[in-house]
Structure 1
């Protein structure tokens, strides 16, 4: 029986949710298939694989801030649809090039950059669109459902990717993601609820950019979350850039095994999203964010700790801890940011936070790859795990620990 009431009866949200679920599942396939293609088909080195992560995230450095200004001026849904369509076309070029024998690392890097640039547009537009789609009292529930689905696809995606890569090769598996983006465009396009355009005074680009930056760093909670999350992203990006390399080459695991191990580990995220409302009701949104941020970092020690003889249980356990507490952190910091930002600044706030958070990714990935070339992959994973934990500890002594509900925060106009 279909659940009654709440967001389960909100057709517009359900279409957005379904589109995101399908697209996220496809993207999880690419997250694994793209580096596997570089490793197994193009025989890329550890540094070249780490560089791939840089091309995926680098567009943030170029486009995040101006995208925020642009998105604050226009309706968000058409941008989301266009980003989905072009992403589908770009990803479809990978299997086409593989079939014609012309696939190269240069093309893989180019597609990663294009899809990364479109992800900036979609991400900022989507995060800014949701508060206009849902009333404030349902925003946390909407974020939890969307993040739970994302975590579920992170669980199923690597397993699906492993099977698809095993059956059809890594480049062909990416076709699934192209199809998922097309499906997302159709579902988002079917939303008929009118989107109100936020009226803003159009000024020079630099002036509007500066206003968004000032808001983020003048607001104590936004400043705290943005600063320390950026440090965490630096170390975590280096870790993620080397994870598949170490699982395949360091631990000798097959693509299929890597897929189901990461899939099982991602189940922690589903659990985290499901219990988020209860944890916040018991401890408050601020303590939940601060404590879960530190505990999620501790989980990534599982990979370098795993014994080479039988690494599976330790890697899975570490991933469950990392994804479970990471989901508690992500759902609630996202809800808090949306709740304390006025609509006219929503796009710029999201773009500044995204730039600080994801913008550290290219630097972290390159540094991680260079360090791995110097001291080895496993020692580098230890460095990344320690760094990711240390930079989150300041949250435990921040004003977040005293914040029970977003409504306690005055929204700066």
Structure 2
């Protein structure tokens, strides 16, 4: 008999932030997210303004940040399950700090090259693979199962605020100091994150030593995702949704400036306004799950609001821009809220010893679609025009919700409670 996992109602405003261990994780992760958001703008700015790199080199730089998910994503999950999750996160923070500090040092000696920037993106991207995998596996050992939804809401809420503020800070630093200043800020943020992690008063349970082959352990994670209908359905949905949304986002600036006729400044303000959807989604995730039930909250956020994206290609000056902002805020907020609820469920559902491998298996599939989405949208735009390409991408996104409706979620109010029973082969 399946037991429904009910969602506790929101408690105090501060909640888990009163606990020193979680508070330190939250401070470190929030500052690191802000630094990463700044770097997302600062790194290509360094390539363009300092090294005068061509457009192709800048696109290679962007791809280099995501490539490690395809190269090391699966083995990273197995290694994370073998090692101390906190130690993996600490090493990833220090490696990222060193990588980004190498840029201002090389620039000071006049030795900075585009090749070094690409290498920095690869090294930092690899560290992010390990950190993101270990971080999701570590959280369930730091807070109680009943607090996972609140923990994810607070962590993703601060991440969305960082995504909102980061590009503006990067631009301001580029004007006041130089684009390289943004990378220094990111290096400092990783150092702060590492210090916070090292001061968490929490001892992890010893990871079981194993003599099994790495390939067998990777297979355990993949098999768990493939065999479970909830994990499998959400992973396939994430792959299709990421492909569509990445394609849409890759053309957004071109669409707003070229087709809609907005200035660069107006475009920046408009995109910043739509980013508020992530902050709103993080704020409403817990009350929405408590009122509707976890399964219904996931369906509403990820599938129910997705068709509103079809209003976005109507964007034009006047009322059309209002439709654009409302639709963008709704779909971003829905995705963030759905992700928060489902992430808390996965962290309480998947056995702790498999959490790293399951996380990396899901993320390799989800993030592997990102480069393809950008290339596909660009090809469609070249052939049929930017607005037509947006129609296709957002139409695919709207239809991606049907994948979730084909899973057991459609018959549930609450998500299942208890651990998944997994048979690990020897």
User: Given the two structures, how large is their TM-score scaled by the length of structure 1?
Assistant: 0.88
TM-superposition CA deviations, 1:363-406 (whole Å, max 9, x none)? 22333344445555444333322222222222134311223333
1:115 aligns with 2:124: yes
TM-superposition CA deviations, 1:104-124 (whole Å, max 9, x none)? 443333222221111100000
Contact kept? 2:248, 2:390, Cα under 8 Å: yes
Contact kept? 1:162, 1:259, Cα under 8 Å: no
Contact kept? 1:50, 1:242, Cα under 8 Å: no
Aligned-partner Cα distance in 1 for 2:62–2:312:
19
Unaligned runs of 5+ in 1: none
* Residue of structure 2 equivalent to 1:336: 345
1:185 aligns with 2:194: yes
280 and 201 in structure 1: CA distance in 2 versus 1, 3 angstrom threshold: same
* Residue of structure 2 equivalent to 1:58: 67
**CA RMSD for the aligned pairs?**
2.8
Report SS of the residue matched to 1:391.
helix
Matches within 5 A, 1:27-106: 27-38=36-47, 42=52, 44-45=54-55, 49-98=58-107, 102-106=111-115
Aligned-partner Cα distance in 1 for 2:380–2:199:
47
Report SS of the residue matched to 1:266.
helix
1:130 aligns with 2:135: no
TM-superposition CA deviations, 1:246-292 (whole Å, max 9, x none)? 556665643x6555433332222222222212111221111211221
5 and 118 in structure 1: CA distance in 2 versus 1, 3 angstrom threshold: closer
Contact kept? 2:243, 2:370, Cα under 8 Å: yes
Q: CA deviation at 1:97?
A: 4.7
TM-superposition CA deviations, 1:53-93 (whole Å, max 9, x none)? 32211111111111111111111111111111111221233
Contact kept? 1:159, 1:262, Cα under 8 Å: no
- Farther off after superposition, 194-203 or 238-247: 238-247
1:293 aligns with 2:299: no
Q: CA deviation at 1:204?
A: 0.8
* Residue of structure 1 equivalent to 2:357: 348
387 and 407 in structure 1: CA distance in 2 versus 1, 3 angstrom threshold: closer
Report SS of the residue matched to 1:392.
helix
Number of residues paired by the alignment?
Answer: 409
167 and 159 in structure 1: CA distance in 2 versus 1, 3 angstrom threshold: same
Matches within 5 A, 1:241-280: 241-244=250-253, 246=255, 251=261, 253-254=263-264, 258-280=267-289
1:144 aligns with 2:137: no
Contact kept? 2:229, 2:407, Cα under 8 Å: no
* Residue of structure 2 equivalent to 1:319: 328
Q: CA deviation at 1:307?
A: 2.3
313 and 293 in structure 1: CA distance in 2 versus 1, 3 angstrom threshold: same
111 and 402 in structure 1: CA distance in 2 versus 1, 3 angstrom threshold: same
Contact kept? 2:221, 2:354, Cα under 8 Å: yes
17 and 34 in structure 1: CA distance in 2 versus 1, 3 angstrom threshold: same
Contact kept? 1:285, 1:406, Cα under 8 Å: yes
User: Given the two structures, how large is their TM-score scaled by the length of structure 2?
Assistant: 0.86
* Residue of structure 2 equivalent to 1:222: 231
Aligned-partner Cα distance in 1 for 2:387–2:46:
22
1:207 aligns with 2:216: yes
Unaligned runs of 5+ in 2: 1-11
* Residue of structure 2 equivalent to 1:306: 315
Aligned-partner Cα distance in 1 for 2:138–2:27:
16
- Farther off after superposition, 238-247 or 155-164: 238-247
Aligned-partner Cα distance in 2 for 1:355–1:334:
16
Contact kept? 1:265, 1:319, Cα under 8 Å: yes
Report SS of the residue matched to 1:191.
coil
